Structure 1
């Protein structure tokens, strides 16, 4: 019983693993504690060593020691100093509460009588000072972090696909894992992978996390959400965004497309019960025989669309068959590499040609405006000389002024920048090029919305589905056919004819 009455735990703590590895701080604390124990006839029955900051609660070794004391395994604790025990006031308050219940607490480097009012006050003051120290330290660290972030530097370990280059230096793309991270975004955009299957595929390709292990499902999900890969730094806690100086791995457009897919897939998971009863082509398919809408129904777990008009000869058609035809139509909107190259060449040539033509038109119109100005001068002279009466002068002047204003408007019309129209064309072609991917990556609601944005009409006859696209998607769909006939898609003549028609459409839209 007497041995238990003098049984104490020794608690030794360092703030970081690095301090613990050096051994200096630990050994100094241990030596001071055992000297104090020997001097005061205290029996150290167990040591508790922790490599964790005391600034926050939740230290596992400290908690384990407190539980052992509450079980009666020791009657006291010996620590090096007050700031080794607690730098947060909650832990200090808990320790003081246990002292009130009879726990003996000794500090090897501080001669404090915690049973007296003065000793307790002195200890409380030191605990408050220690807590304030760590609070100030946090503020200084925070200032340093935000200073780095405002410089565009990421003050934390590099994410997967990048490598560290030392303090105050930008992260650089890892030559091995960087291309694999880029591939992760590209593969997910195909719509052929779930997060789990993509993680498996990337592991086979050689992608590893910072610890050399497989990137987990959650890890990959966070990776695909991380704007670091487009050159931005997002603080997880505050959601603040900073512009980084590191080189991006992917484009903004590709990142946004992945976010849309991730969002759509989450919505799809949440709304499974609602979506289960929804038909993709509900109220979209028209019977070409009776011009009534087909109705969706499920037979033996297969979705069909049927015409319910009496005596109509139209038979049911499967939803997957309709969707395949629609997807083939969307794939027809995708441009080949040859077409894209010709498009870029056409833009350069057309830009120069339009500029030259515009300059010629402006020159011609300005000559006509100059002639009208001369005629107005002569008209005014004639009026001042009394050759024309006022009514004739006013009527002719109004007519000439109207003509001049009309020509001025033509000059302004010529000022429409070719780049504005070509930019709209490029944006539209990007949308057209990704039409299949956008449709396949959406849930049923998104699919129906996208369908309505590009389809003018669906009509069904027997097993055939006629899909009429809205303009200008129909222009893209029929780009392989030109008035002279015989040309094949991909040939310069065919592509140039299609691009000219497209430009005229966007030019008319711009004028309207």
Structure 2
């Protein structure tokens, strides 16, 4: 009788305690010599047996059916099958006498044997893999609920194998943050971002330029502001966010324009309406100019110029950079001083305004905290409806995603308000004293 030797070990969790391929081959060859079994060929497979379709296993079984061998030597019966399809094929060929002998390290199987023991072994292997799969999935879902992303960290982060957490990759995090800022400004396209990343040394696998679809995916990933998606649900992560929710929303507002850049919304020019042209007396206006560098960087400069609305006068004044205009204004204002008798009343007015602003901010923060509390209650009721099967999964996920996004936005507003009330007071107080 001639035998095929079959050794298998996958990278899946269920094979962690199984001998390595090399160890199986050594043990099985020794077993064959001890029992005087003739091995005509060895089959080695590195693939899980939990689903049908293993190429090497199928080839071996086809050759057995053609009569090239009559027996199989394997470490354990579950090396041959961990699913009912392959297990049933092995049992059927053994019962029909096509396979005349299966030798494992601890027992033999023959066509005339009671098939109950083999059925139990194969059934236990199949049930083990089913339970393992369910337990693994349940464990990963629980991990996500505790705020730990159960997957590979996106660009800008690193998986720390020592602590089994996700930490910030300092260099890439800076690039990701700037990428969001550039795109949110409405002046940079996805293709320009790809060029900028290439110049910064960030490449995809195969040392290729990052594709715009990948950049679009990064810009839509909530992981960067502190949330993450897993198994269709959005969870709050315990990793450090790289950007604010407001910056994420701005970038995605641009992205919803189907990749087209939006009209540049420049800040109101502070001197328009206050100053006039020294040559013709007309008002002045401001323009923002862009300068693109070869390394992908984009610089913005503000120029003030005469509106030239007086057609009777040919104005000869050239545009002026904002920095030069501000230096001239600073020099001009430096020639004046505030009367000393104004200092005390202005300081009193400042104290009153500061107290009022602080009170308003406190009230606003409390109102926002109430909203956060209401949203948290809505999320709990939403989960109850889903558990009670009164809500379809897609509807549940959609509502949950919207509520969590809204809560994150409000939480950031609270942080800004708590920091903001007094930040302007001291600079104004110093200005009063120095003026």
TM-score interval, normalised by the smaller of the two chains: 0.5 to 0.7
Q: Distance in 2 between matches of 1:417 and 1:193?
A: 35
Q: Distance in 2 between matches of 1:159 and 1:97?
A: 48
Q: Distance in 2 between matches of 1:48 and 1:186?
A: 55
**Alignment correspondent of 1:253:** 246
Distance 1:54 1:243, change over 3 A: same
Aligned ranges for residues 111-190 of structure 1 at < 5 Å? Answer: 111-116=107-112, 118=114, 120-190=115-185
From the two aligned structures, give the one with the greater helix fraction: 1
Quote the offset at 1:248 in angstroms: 0.6
Q: Is the 8 A contact 1:13 1:51 kept in 2?
A: yes
Q: Deviations over 1:180-205 (max 9, x none)?
A: 22233334435566656644542331
Quote the offset at 1:122 in angstroms: 0.9
Quote the offset at 1:53 in angstroms: 2.9
Q: Distance in 1 between matches of 2:66 and 2:214?
A: 40
SS of the residue 1:171 aligns to? strand
Q: Distance in 2 between matches of 1:57 and 1:420?
A: 61
**Alignment correspondent of 2:305:** none
Quote the offset at 1:11 in angstroms: 1.7
**Alignment correspondent of 1:92:** 87
Distance 1:53 1:331, change over 3 A: same
Aligned partner of 1:82 among 59, 73, 77: 77
SS of the residue 1:12 aligns to? strand
Q: Deviations over 1:315-346 (max 9, x none)?
A: xxxxxxxx9xx957x5476889999xxxxxxx
Q: CA RMSD in A?
A: 4.8
Quote the offset at 1:78 in angstroms: 2.4
Q: Distance in 2 between matches of 1:158 and 1:46?
A: 43
Q: Distance in 1 between matches of 2:34 and 2:89?
A: 27
**Alignment correspondent of 2:314:** none
How many residue pairs are counted as aligned between the two chains?
A: 295
**Alignment correspondent of 2:383:** none
Distance 1:355 1:173, change over 3 A: closer
Q: Is the 8 A contact 1:81 1:109 kept in 2?
A: yes
Bigger Cα Rg: 1
| 1:108 and 2:115 aligned | no
Quote the offset at 1:126 in angstroms: 0.6
Aligned partner of 2:5 among 3, 10, 15: 10
Aligned ranges for residues 421-432 of structure 1 at < 5 Å? Answer: none
Aligned partner of 1:265 among 258, 261, 264: 258
Structure 2: unaligned runs, 5 residues or longer: 271-287, 289-299, 303-321, 323-347, 369-435
TM-score computed with the length of structure 2 as normaliser: 0.53
Q: Deviations over 1:89-147 (max 9, x none)?
A: 233224334445624562322424341361x2211111111122223333443444344
Q: Distance in 2 between matches of 1:334 and 1:186?
A: 21
**Alignment correspondent of 1:29:** 24
TM-score computed with the length of structure 1 as normaliser: 0.46
Q: Is the 8 A contact 1:16 1:52 kept in 2?
A: yes
Q: Distance in 2 between matches of 1:10 and 1:43?
A: 10
